[in-house]
Each structure stands twice: as structure tokens, then as C-alpha cells.
Amino acid sequence: MRRFWCASLAVVALVSVGCKGGLPSKDKEIEMGQDVAREYEQKLPDGPIITRGPEVERVQRVAAKLLPLARKDWDVPYSVKVVQSDQINAFAIPGGPIYFYTGLIKLAESDDELASVLGHEITHITKRHSVKQLKKNRDLMVGLATLDVLLKGGNSIKSAAEVYANFKSMAFSRSDENQADEFGFKYLVSMGYKPEAMAGFFTKMGAKTGGGGGKLAEFFSTHPMTSERVKAATERAEKFRKGTYKAP
């Protein structure tokens, strides 16, 4: 799902730790994520963040069950906030921040379906998919002039603003999406949610590709829905019901 953080901020973190052999430290990743979340919440390009109402209650109810599991895998300060927008979307930022749009919450008919989405987003954080891609693609994402500013200690927020428009989204790889589905399913069933929920929600989203229009453009630009993913989710649910499912 859409990544709204600023790539240049991520590069600041990567440059600061050398960016040669490994990923940024956990503390640096958390700092990076908080910087980007703060910038996103200052801009709020799609709508305001809401703190009360049925959509917020539903999301927080599911988050209260899943986030303790996530912390066992990658202990960072998770948060889940709701954006008032008809867009059908959700996205995660490195280091813990997660955002759900009310359009997606309303489309999810049950807490089970919401849990399937949240489990997927959690996995993008626990498996550090974002920072891994940023490290891999940093030379493609940031021009030499911007890198020069960053390396000389320029203001990261100012530099971020200069290139913000170019990095509003960055698609996850197919392997990242598959892993997010697989571990997201583990989170889903570990807390007693219906195993069919992920395949059901995927099918519902897939049905929107023909007539979703602008509301789904962002979602599908970074979160392609394939028949293979729906099939894999269905098979996992069937194995779980039969008692042959093995958690990753």
C-alpha cells in the first residue's frame, strides 16, 4: 500500500550509518519513521486524522490484538491512526507508524478483514521491507545534487520537501508482498480471526479493479492484486481449517 514517507529522509538515515554493508539501526529507523510521520501529518494531503468515531474504534480494537504480536517480532513504537478520506488505502512507515483511510475501513465488512490488512501492513514493518528497498534503490531515487546537500549536513526536512513530490509512492516487490501476506495471515489466525478473511478481502479488492477509479488508483499503484495472491490466501485458509497449516 502507498508509502507516504519522504525518501530523502530515509537516505539521511542510511548515509548516517555508512549504508555500505547493512541497514540503519533500529533507533535510526525509528527516528526516520517519526520524522516522516510528522511531515505527513503536517501536510495531510488526503484528509484530516480523526481520533473518534466507529472507524477509529474498529481499527483500534483490532490493533490492540495484533500489535503485541508485532512487538515480539520487531519491537518498535507502533501506532495506528485513521485518515478521514474516501480513498481505499492504508500504508505503513518504517519504525512503527501505520495509517488507515476510512474508505478502506468501510469496505472491510468485519474486524476479520481489517485484521488481514493490518497484519499485512505490520509485516512490512517487522520485515523492514521499506528500508531494504530504500537502501537498494537510493542511487536511483535521489539525484547527485540532493545527495550532496545531505552529505554536507543540509537540513533534512528542507531537502525532503524539495524532492517530496517525486517519492510519494514506491511499490513493494512481489516477494515483499507475498511475505507480507504470509506473515499477515499468521497474525490474523493467531488472534482467532477467521482464516478466510484475507482471501475474502483480496477478492473484494480485486473486483474493484475494473471500476474503482480514483479512489483505488493509489492502492493498486503500489499494491497490485493478483490472482496468484488470492489463490495463495485461499490455500492457506484451507490448510488452517484442515489442521495442516504451518506458520512461517
- pTM of structure: 0.80
In the chain, where the domains are located: 7-163+170-242
Angle at 135 between CA 122 and CA 39, to 5 degrees: 60
CB 226 within 8 A of CB 205: no
Percent of the chain scoring above 70 in pLDDT: 69
Instruction: Write the pLDDT tens digit of every residue in 165-175.
Output: 333 445 677 88
pLDDT of 11 > 60? The answer is no
Q: What is the mean pLDDT of residues 77-94?
A: 93
Question: Alpha carbon 44 to chain centroid distance?
Answer: 17
Of 40-44, 129-133, 151-155, which gets the smallest average pLDDT?
A: 151-155
- Predicted local distance difference test score (pLDDT) of residue 66: 98
More confident residue, 81 or 212: 81
Percent of the chain scoring above 90 in pLDDT: 48
pLDDT of 248 > 90? The answer is yes
Phi, psi of 191 (to 5 degrees): -105, 15
Instruction: Write the pLDDT tens digit of every residue in 47-66.
Output: 999 999 999 999 999 999 99
pLDDT grade for 89, boundaries at 50, 70 and 90: confident
Instruction: Write the pLDDT tens digit of every residue in 177-217.
Output: 899 999 999 999 999 999 999 999 988 887 775 444 445 54
pLDDT of 1 > 70? The answer is no
Angle at 121 between CA 118 and CA 126, to 5 degrees: 115
